[in-house]
Chains A and B, each alone.
Chain A
Amino acid sequence: MMRMKSTDYKALSVSIVLLLIAICLPWIVGDFALTLAVNMAMFTVLATSWALFSGPTHYISLATAAFFGLGAYTMGLGVDHLPFWLLVILAGLFGAIMAGIIGLATLRLSGVYFVIFTLGLAEMTRQIITYIQNATGQKGILISIWFEESTFYWMLVALAALIFLVGWLIGRSRLGFALRIIGDDEEVARHSGINTALSKVLLFMIPGSVAAMSGAIIAPRYGYIEPLIAFTPMLSFQVVIMALLGGTGRLWGPLAGVIPFSILWELISASFPNQTTLLLGLSFLIIVYLLPQGFVGLLLKIRAKIGDGRGY
């Protein structure tokens, strides 16, 4: 369970090969595919970090947009004064602090109350920024730096690799084990000596921090940010759908959801630009009904049927 087993080495080598392929992608594919790949990399980052917390604990967070927007605005406001990379780190720090505060306030809430709170929080943040901008007569923020599409891509792939590493380490740590116990039965967790509130808050800070960093990295790609772009609630829902489609039971699960969904999303928004929200909702229903455990669950079920015996 905690040692490196042969399956660990296998997983590690597969991950390295996939990472190398991902790194080489910009030299292989065309412009259109690269744009799609940037989106995929971004959603891989967001969905994987989201699942690190929400997977084991079953707390569904709809606050991704709040953290993402916080990061984007950190970049927007600071880009003329501080170096880019420093702002990305600062955004990560702000995201972690904000998640810590929200966590302390809300993680004692159970299930549905937490979902509603996080959604409300994202909306409230957006409204506050809009209000401030209106009051100061400002419309949005121009971001004066610009990168090649491939640079955005590589930055996000690097962040994704980092998250996979962190996720893998957490999965082997006491904290990861504690989170799984909490997800199964919080009462047992408490009486086994786990500080459930602290564990949840600590782990909630990861997706918060990561979403803020992604927002900071991607902000120059927009060129111009305003609340509706930076805090779009659609983002929070997309992340949840992709993570659930892939399945949160494994570290690679969300990735298995991000790739097909990004392609599907691209097709939908190109062909039916006015019905995207409707179709998004529909796909959400279908996923929840047909694939409650996502692709991961489906795969494990098939494997169990074949008689591998190990199941999970």
Chain B
Amino acid sequence: MSDHRTVLSLQGVTKRFGGLIAVNDLDFDVAEHEVLGLIGPNGSGKSTTMNLISGALSVSEGEIALRGQVISDLPPHKIARRGVARTFQLVRMLPSMSVMENVMAGGVFGHRRRWGRDAERQVMKMLELVGLDRRANARPSELTYIDTKRVELARVLVGDPKVLLLDEWLAGLNPTELEEGIALVKQLRDEGRTIVLVEHVMDAIRSLCDRCVVMSSGQKIAEGATEQVLSDPEVIRAYLGEDDA
């Protein structure tokens, strides 16, 4: 289904660490304006896949293409410049910089490059979007956990990426924060952003993802519309089979 609307496509992607196969012959496409959930039990290779797409890890076999152009042989900074932006499983702030500069870091060197007033304007717009415009001059150490997550989201948004990779962006939030977080990602979806998200929180998956790819032991075991996939017996088995995932 590599039609013109396909933004990101993985074909036969395999990653080996020595004898261990972390991702095995994985295929999937992400269409424009789509929110794709990458789900599965712990250790199933979701985060490895995110790292392969963003170039933090190199693929052992197979190809990853962005709008038809192969990116899996590029270093991470070039992949970022092509328009793939990511958040990290553990939030990564730039501790010596203000919130404003933390966000600006994502918009100066990446896909859409801005500098000077233009960059500052764009940063403020993104801070407004995530609801942090009043904390522009704060230090990361002064922020609450969810606010650091918001900063990270603003940082990846500011470069106007073609694909957004959210690696467990909602993890570790309390119920109120989780609601806010889901609302925020929903807003991005409604704006027509293309998003791949790795997530464990079922409520989030149900309310955000158009489609899901389910992984288990490095392999894709199911793919399809979210509700349909979540009621697939094999998916349920994969989740419940590992009792203390």
Contacts and interface: CB of A to CB of B under 8 A. Distances in A.
A193 B115 contact: no
Contact of A180 (B54, B97, B116): B97
Interface of A is mostly: helix
Given A180-B96, A184-B94, A185-B92, A191 B76 contact: yes
B122 to A, nearest CB: 13
Given A1-B120, A3-B116, A174-B115, A193 B109 contact: yes
Interface string A205-236: 00000000000000000000000000000000
B62 to A, nearest CB: 21
Interface stretch (B2-10, B80-88, B182-190, B230-238): B80-88
A139 interface: no
For this complex, into which size category does the number of interface residues on chain B fall? Answer: 20 to 34
A10 B242 CA distance: 65
A191 B120 contact: no
A178 B109 contact: yes
Nearest to B112: A193
A311 B96 CA distance: 11
A247 B229 CA distance: 57
Contacts of A178: 108-109
Contacts of B110: 192-193
- Which one of B77, B86, B96 has the highest number of Cβ atoms from chain A below 10 Å of its Cβ? B77
A195 interface: yes
Contacts of B96: 180, 183-184, 312
A2 interface: yes
Contacts of A184: 94-97
A192 B92 contact: no
A177 interface: yes
Interface string B214-242: 00000000000000000000000000000
Interface string A163-197: 00000000000100110110111011111111110
A5 to B, nearest CB: 13
Given A178-B109, A185-B94, A190 B80 contact: yes
Q: Which 3 pairs across A and B sit closest by C-beta, in order of nearness?
A: A193-B110, A193-B109, A184-B94
Interface of B: 54-56, 75-78, 80-81, 85-86, 88, 92-97, 100-101, 104-106, 108-111, 115-117, 120, 139, 155, 159
Given A177-B108, A178-B109, A188-B88, 13 more contacts: A2-B117, A183-B96, A184-B95, A185-B94, A189-B77, A189-B105, A190-B76, A190-B80, A193-B80, A193-B81, A193-B110, A195-B77, A311-B139
26 contacts: A1-B100, A2-B115, A2-B116, A3-B116, A178-B109, A180-B94, A180-B96, A181-B97, A183-B96, A184-B94, A185-B92, A187-B56, A189-B77, A189-B105, A190-B77, A191-B54, A191-B56, A191-B77, A192-B80, A192-B106, A192-B108, A192-B110, A192-B155, A193-B109, A193-B110, A194-B77
Interface of A: 1-3, 174, 177-178, 180-181, 183-185, 187-196, 311-312
